[in-house]
């Protein structure tokens, strides 16, 4: 009989896979396994039976990895399970940065009561004119599950896609991302691309990578998208970039307070993985990993 604790009920759907040998407990200290989405576990006291933590999502920065390693607690994530949801939001972000959809919506709401919409229609066409994605260069930094999906979707929109991933062999790069120009350095992405999207984990080597130096190499009027982790960018440098106009738009689902109100910032809550499908996929995969480990000792992270 295994006891599991589920933070904020990550999904009933995934839990339906558990057999009668698994019982939910209301105190994490009693659990053999913990299922978690975004709750930070750094302050959590582990019970003596805890053997596994399964994170329903890609990033594991909410888990105290060093403590888990010391105490022999296995940590799983669910790579790829929410990638499609994130990809779709990144593409929406690029469209929001290129077409003034939000400006147009606000304008219609403000003007409908006064009956000005028909009268000022021509003015609106000028005021909210945008540009197209087709033919523009997109740089994708990090060609993991999400980066590759974004790259392929952008190709379908007619974008010229550059990819950079120092961990990818030439062979795998060719297999997973045909038609992408593989940049040899990240600087090539910075200097060549009109849109730059980041899809790397938050590591010591990636934290703050979008800093003043990186931004100085970028094209004037670049659009930077960050749906990966807030710590990948230096907030001050992004604000300076927006204020000077070097960065036309910074699009993100991390509502960093210093950036959120600055002109050109397009900031929403952390919604990349918040689709019914992504939540179900993540929950099912997290439950499967926890169960495989507790019942069979399997460590596969499929
Ligand atoms: C992730 O790391 O995959 C996301 O942060 C998932 C989430 O929003 O829960």
User: DSSP 3-state assignment of 110?
Assistant: helix
Superfamily of domain 2-78+276-296 in CATH is NAD(P)-binding Rossmann-like Domain (3.40.50.720)
53-67 mean pLDDT: 94
55 lines ligand 1 (CB under 6 A): no
Give pLDDT, residue 174.
67
Tell me what pLDDT residue 56 has.
93
Tokens coding 159: 């974008």
Q: 78-115 in b/e burial notation, b at 16+ Cβ within 10 A?
A: bebbbbbbbbbbbbebbebbbbbeeeeeebeeeeeeee
The answer to pTM > 0.80 is yes
* CA atoms 293, 297, 299, 302: torsion sign: negative
What pLDDT does 225 receive?
98
Task: Output the residue whose Cα is nearest ligand 1's atom 6.
Answer: 57
Please give the number of the atom of ligand 1 that sits closest to the Cα of 59: 2
Q: Give the pLDDT mean for 28-35.
A: 95
Report whether residue 146 contacts ligand 1, using a CB cutoff of 6 Å: no
How much of the chain, in percent, has pLDDT values that exceed 90?
Answer: 81
Q: Per-residue confidence at 168, pLDDT binned at 50, 70, 90?
A: confident
Span 114-146, pLDDT tens digits: 778 888 899 999 999 999 999 999 999 999 999
How far, in Å, from the CA of 80 to the mean position of ligand 1? 11
Match 């939000």 to its residue by tokens. Answer: 102
Cα(229) to centroid(ligand 1), Å: 9
pLDDT value, residue 9: 58
What are φ and ψ of residue 186, in 5° steps? -70, -25
The answer on pLDDT for 158 being more than 90 is yes
The residues annotated as belonging to the active site are 229, 258, 270
What's the ipTM?
0.94
3-state secondary structure of 126: helix
CB of residue 201 inside a 6 A radius of ligand 1: no
Residues found in the chain: 302
Rounded alpha-carbon distances, angstroms, from residue 76 to 169, 217, 261, 302 = 25, 37, 36, 9
Encoded tokens for 4:
């599991």
Query: Contact, 251 vs 97, CB < 8 A?
Result: yes
Whether the domain at 2-78+276-296 and the domain at 83-267 fall into the same CATH topology = yes
pLDDT band at 177 (very low <50, low <70, confident <90, very high): low
Q: What is the dihedral angle through the alpha carbons of 214, 88, 282, 48, rounded to the nearest 10 degrees?
A: 30
Q: What separation in Å is there between the alpha carbon of 273 and the centre of ligand 1?
A: 6
For the stretch 271-282, pLDDT in tens is 999 999 999 999
Give the C-alpha separation, 275 to 86, whole Å. Answer: 9
Q: What dotted CATH number matches 83-267? A: 3.40.50.720
Q: Which of 8-22, 32-46, 79-93 has the lowest mean pLDDT?
A: 8-22
Please tell me if the CB atom of residue 270 comes closer than 6 angstroms to any atom of ligand 1: yes
Confirm if 150 and 90 have CB atoms less than 8 A apart.
yes
**Of 147, 140, 157, nearest to 192 (Cα)?**
140
Q: How far is the CA of 88 from the centre of ligand 1 (A)?
A: 14
What is the phi/psi pair of residue 40, to 5°?
-80, 130
Domain extents in the chain = 2-78+276-296, 83-267
- 226 close to ligand 1 (CB < 6 Angstrom): no
């Amino acid at each position: 009989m295994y006891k599991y604790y589920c933070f904020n009920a990550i999904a009933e759907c995934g839990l339906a896979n558990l057999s009668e040998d698994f019982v939910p407990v209301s105190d994490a200290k009693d659990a053999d396994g913990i299922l978690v989405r975004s709750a930070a576990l750094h302050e959590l006291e582990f019970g003596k039976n805890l053997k596994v933590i399964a994170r329903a999502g890609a990033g594991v920065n909410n888990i105290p990895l060093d403590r888990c390693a010391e105490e022999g607690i296995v940590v799983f994530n669910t790579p790829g399970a929410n990638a499609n949801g994130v990809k779709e939001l990144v593409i929406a972000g690029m469209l929001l940065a290129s077409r003034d959809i939000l400006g147009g919506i606000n304008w219609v709401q403000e003007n409908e009561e006064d009956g000005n919409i028909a009268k000022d229609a021509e003015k609106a066409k000028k005021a909210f004119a945008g540009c197209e994605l087709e033919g523009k260069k997109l740089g994708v930094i990090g060609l993991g599950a999400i980066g590759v999906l974004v790259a392929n979707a952008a190709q379908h929109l007619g974008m010229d896609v550059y990819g950079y991933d120092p961990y990818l062999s030439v062979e795998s790069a060719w297999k997973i991302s045909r038609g992408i120009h593989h940049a040899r350095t990240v600087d090539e992405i910075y200097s060549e691309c009109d849109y730059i999207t980041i899809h790397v984990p938050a590591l010591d080597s990636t934290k703050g990578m979008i800093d003043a130096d990186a931004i100085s190499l970028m094209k004037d009027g670049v659009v930077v998208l960050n749906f990966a982790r807030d710590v990948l960018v230096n907030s001050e440098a992004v604000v300076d970039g927006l204020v000077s106009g070097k960065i036309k738009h910074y699009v993100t689902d991390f509502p960093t307070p210093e950036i959120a109100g600055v002109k050109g910032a397009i900031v929403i809550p952390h919604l990349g993985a918040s689709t019914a499908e992504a939540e179900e996929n993540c929950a099912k995969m997290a439950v499967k990993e926890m169960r495989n480990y507790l019942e069979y000792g399997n460590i596969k992270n499929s």
